[in-house]
Structure formats: structure tokens, C-alpha cells
Amino acid sequence: MYYASLTGIGCESIPHPPLGDSPVPSIEIGDKAPSFQATLQDGSTFDSTSLLGRKSLVLFFYPKDNTPVCTQQACAFRDAYAQFVNADVEVVGVSSDSTESHQRFAAKHSLPFPIISDSRGALRRLFGVPRALGIFPGRVTYVIDKEGVVRMAYNATLAAEPHVRKALEAVAAAATDRPR
């Protein structure tokens, strides 16, 4: 398994796949997900290795707090949150907004899951999340099982709801040990 501190990642150029519903090529289904530590909206540190052997992880990257599609996506994860919890899955959002912005966003929309502040884009680079149109932060959702294996990578910049639906499908498939 890879390990990266978010402060130690360089700013290398990452090739971008075409827009649409294609998987992100940097991290592929069946790969071990990179381990990471990152700052949450409450200032605490999220350590992905703390979930190994205990819980699966849905890690969803979105462009910006309080924008229409991002709000729709976050609220869709909120509305399905009990289904994820019942399946032993931790849901974590990621955007480049500040911890303060994430606190306001989570409070305004009653979001029950933590949100990572990736202000320097290091976590996006670690996971190979592409930029939409080459300039906007992308919208990609990963499902990572309890063993740290990527079971799903879904990339759709302008769609919110399919991220949740596809994540739930991947969680169900992982529970029966079928890669998605």
C-alpha cells in the first residue's frame, strides 16, 4: 500500500481522461488505494489506514462547497448516509475549500459525514482526479473496501446523483466479493 503525507506531494502534471462517465486511469479498480492523512473540517486528522480491516470507504471529490451540483451531490450522500453506515462504510467528502467553508457547508445542509480540506490539491493528485475542461476540479467518487482495494472509480463532472447510486451498487457488490 502506498503512503503519502499531503504536504510531501509534488505538483507533477497528470494526464486527464476525456469528460464523461469513464473511470479515472490513475487509480484503477482492483488497485490498492493510496494511504493518506488529511485535515477535516473540525481541524482533526483523518487517517485512511485507521479503516483498514474495519470499514470500507466512499471518498467523493467535488469541486466547491455551496455550488448547485456539489450541494446536490453532498445532500444525496447525506440522504443515503444510513445505507452506507448500515453497510460498515465511512463516507468522506473532499474539496479544496477551507475547513471554515466546510464547517458552514456541513452545518447549512446537515451533512453527517466528514469533509477533507484539500486546499493544495495534494489528495486530488494522489488519486489522479482529473480537472474538468482542464481547469475546474473534477468530481470523482471512489469505493475502497476494508482491505484497501478500489472497488469503484466513477467520474462524472456534471452529474450528482449517479455518484451515490453507483457507490451503493459497488458497496453491495463488495459485500458479495464481486469487483465492480
pLDDT computed for residue 43 by the predictor? 93
Q: Which domain holds residue 166?
A: 20-175
Instruction: Profile the chain (180 residues) by mean pLDDT over runs of 10 residues.
Output: 32 34 64 95 95 95 94 96 97 96 97 96 92 82 95 89 94 74
Residue 88 lies in a domain: yes
Catalytic residue list: 70
CATH, residue 33:
3.40.30.10
Strands, E assignment, the chain: 3-5, 35-39, 45-47, 56-61, 89-95, 115-117, 131-132, 136-137, 140-144, 150-155
Q: What is the domain count for the chain?
A: 1
Residue 9 lies in a domain: no
Residue 7 lies in a domain: no
pLDDT computed for residue 15 by the predictor? 35
pTM of the complete model: 0.83
Residue 8 lies in a domain: no
Residue 114 lies in a domain: yes
